[in-house]
């Protein structure tokens, strides 16, 4: 994943990720511009999942939001 284009929906995505991995905290999911790799690493460390699994989970959350936005 080269960049996240999710700032507008980040609160919803954070909620979805916290439902998937209850160990995550708000501090873990702080999206600081330019630090997406750090965010992925933090989620990986907290959940024990691979980078690929974390990226897929984020993509799935984004896809679900996109489908809801289409009338």
Count, residues in the chain: 71
Please give the full DSSP string across the chain, using - where no structure is assigned. Answer: ------GGGHHHHHHHHHHH-TT--TTTT---TT-HHHHHHHHHHHH---HHHHHHHHHHHHHHHHHHH--
**Which domains, ranges and CATH numbers included, belong to the chain?**
7-69 (1.10.1470)
Output the pLDDT for position 52.
93
Task: Find, among 1, 34, 30, 3, the residue nearest to 17 by Cα.
Answer: 30
Q: Please list the pLDDT of the chain residue by residue as tens digits (71 residues).
A: 444 555 667 778 888 899 999 998 888 887 666 688 888 888 999 999 999 999 999 888 888 887 765 55
Token readout for 64 is 């679900």
């Amino acid at each position: 994943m080269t960049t996240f284009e999710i700032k507008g929906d980040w609160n919803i995505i954070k909620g979805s990720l916290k439902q998937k991995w209850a160990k995550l905290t708000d501090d873990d999911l702080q999206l600081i511009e330019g630090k997406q790799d750090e965010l992925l690493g933090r989620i990986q460390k907290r959940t024990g999942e691979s980078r690929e699994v974390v990226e897929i989970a984020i993509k799935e959350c984004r896809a679900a939001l996109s489908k809801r936005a289409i009338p």
